[in-house]
Chains A and B, each alone.
Chain A
Amino acid sequence: QSALTQPASVSGSPGQSITISCTGSSSDVGGYNYVSWYQQHPGESPKLLIFDVTNRPSGVSHRFTGSKSGNTASLTISGLQADDESDYYCSSYTSLTSRVFGTGTKVTVL
């Protein structure tokens, strides 16, 4: 089971919207609605942002939105803020080894 594919980096200016993709296969992202997204600031543990493709845990900003089309899931961050500068990871249930993470995306706020 290879890691899900994410862009290495994405950048945007404050106030803009950016989208991070997470591409897998029919064995994981495309086959199940069990995609989650995490934010990890340097030196900290990851934080759950989105689960089951589109759901936000309580306390997570509405600026974070999840979606999926075919074998690709996406995380959109709207109204980009300085504190959004961080690493982001997707994860999915997979029929092959049960769970898998994405390769990670570094978001830079210009």
Chain B
Amino acid sequence: EMQVVESGGGLVKRGGSLRLFCSGSGFIFSSYAMNWVRQAPGKGLEWVSSISGNGIYISYADSVKGRFTISRDNAKNSLYLHMNSLRAEDTSIYYCVREGKGLAAFDIWGQGTMVTVSS
């Protein structure tokens, strides 16, 4: 079964840092671009960041640029999101998502990991 599983969420103080992890299985991890997508409580989906299968091409939403860093280790089938200078508005469920059906076509979603930034 193809799946991705996130971990690393939790409660962090404003201005703090947190690192999210995502493990992929059941597919050739290095062949796919991977993304982080977040959803604040009761709100819509927001794309956060994308990294190509070989890790060369990386992009970020303006709301996190300069504060978040996406990376991957294909040998470990793993995706990461290093979040710095966290703000209250970063409070969300963070989903690890495979872009498996072409550009901006997110076909495998994890269950999400909750990040809460307290003030």
Contact = CB atoms under 8 A, between A and B. Distances in A.
Nearest to B108: A48
Interface residues of B, number: 23
Contacts, number: 77
Contacts of B109: 45-47
Query: Contact size class for A?
Result: 20 to 34
Given A97-B60, A98-B59, A99-B35, A48 B46 contact: no
Contact of B62 (A38, A55, A57, A97): A97
B101 interface: yes
Most central of A52, A100, A101 by chain B CB within 10 Å:
A101
A58 B103 CA distance: 18
**Chain B interface SS verdict (over half):** loop
Interface string B49-81: 010000000011110000000000000000000
B111 interface: yes
A51 B59 contact: no
Interface of B: 35, 37, 44-47, 50, 59-62, 95, 101-107, 109-112
